Chain A
Amino acid sequence: MAASAEQATVAKLKATAAVNDAVDGRVYTVADTQDAGAPAIVVTKLGAEGGSRLNGGRGLRRWTLQVDCYADTEAAAQALGAAVRDALAPGDSPAWRDLAAGVHGTFWEDSTAGITDDGVRLQSETFGVWFQPTA
């Protein structure tokens, strides 16, 4: 169960060994950390759309989440980003869908590369996650 899309996403990434092991378990929502060091992953909620119904609805909305992958090298950041994509929305198998956790579907949207002020490499992956609170 999860109360928010970003919490469900953090739980999913922590449960994925290829991701969690690569960052030694440092997977956070943006509310939980301001400086996670590297390597680390920070999940940020960018917004939501949909969900408006005459009777208020059942809470299913499409959330846009940004997953920032921090690493010391560009190659490591890219590999981390690829591992996150494989965990949430792989190109060759069904995307992440877990109704018990409130996740009805996941879609990869975008990928960008960058570098922080202190020289840490950053790979940002953006996803659309259809989420309905279960808690």
Chain B
Amino acid sequence: MSQIGSGWALAVNDGASSAFVDIDDITEVQPPEDGVVGMAESKRLNGGGVVTRVPTVKTPVDFTFTYEHNKTQFNRLDAHKGAAKQWKITDITPSSPWTKTFPGVLTSHVQQPVNADGIVLVVGTVAVTGAAV
């Protein structure tokens, strides 16, 4: 069981070597949901005067991550904007690490305001484009 953030990692497959590369100095990541399950309702399946609702398919959702700016990493990730990549989030703290891999497109990659007395952060948003594995 892991209830603190330390020990989680987010990586993106850069493509060139078909290898996942960790994103360093992440301060926050919103783990992606596998997809929101849609629901449909039918009055034809009326059972006892109640509209029946049934599950349909999942709709992928966006997820975000925040890291401390450094030039090399910012440029590397920025080059992925708009391109479909494989992303992987891992909780390495259990004896058997929990991992989820999913396709996604970096749709937004924004440097946060530069303050005199603070570390510059960058927020990335990834639109998940398919099923997680």
Contact = CB atoms under 8 A, between A and B. Distances in A.
B133 interface: no
Contacts of B9: 54-55
B62 interface: no
B27 A54 contact: yes
Interface string B1-39: 000011111100000000000101111010000000000
B27 A52 contact: yes
B78 interface: no
B123 to A, nearest CB: 15
B119 A60 contact: yes
A56 B27 CA distance: 10
Interface in B62-108: 68
A53 B117 contact: no
Interface residues of B, number: 16
A99 to B, nearest CB: 13
B116 interface: yes
Contacts of B24: 55, 58
Contacts of A60: 68, 119
Interface in A12-55: 50, 52-55
A54 B117 contact: no
A31 B109 CA distance: 45
A105 interface: yes
A93 to B, nearest CB: 15
Interface in B109-130: 116-117, 119
A103 to B, nearest CB: 14
Nearest to A61: B119
Contacts of A105: 117
B25 A55 contact: yes
A26 B9 CA distance: 47
A50 B22 CA distance: 21
A34 to B, nearest CB: 32
Interface of A: 50, 52-58, 60, 62, 105, 107, 128
Interface of B: 5-10, 22, 24-27, 29, 68, 116-117, 119
22 contacts: A50-B119, A52-B5, A52-B6, A53-B6, A53-B26, A53-B27, A53-B68, A54-B5, A54-B7, A54-B9, A54-B10, A54-B29, A55-B9, A55-B22, A55-B24, A55-B25, A57-B25, A58-B24, A58-B25, A105-B117, A107-B116, A107-B117
Given A55-B26, A128-B117, 7 more contacts: A53-B26, A54-B10, A54-B26, A56-B6, A58-B24, A105-B117, A107-B117
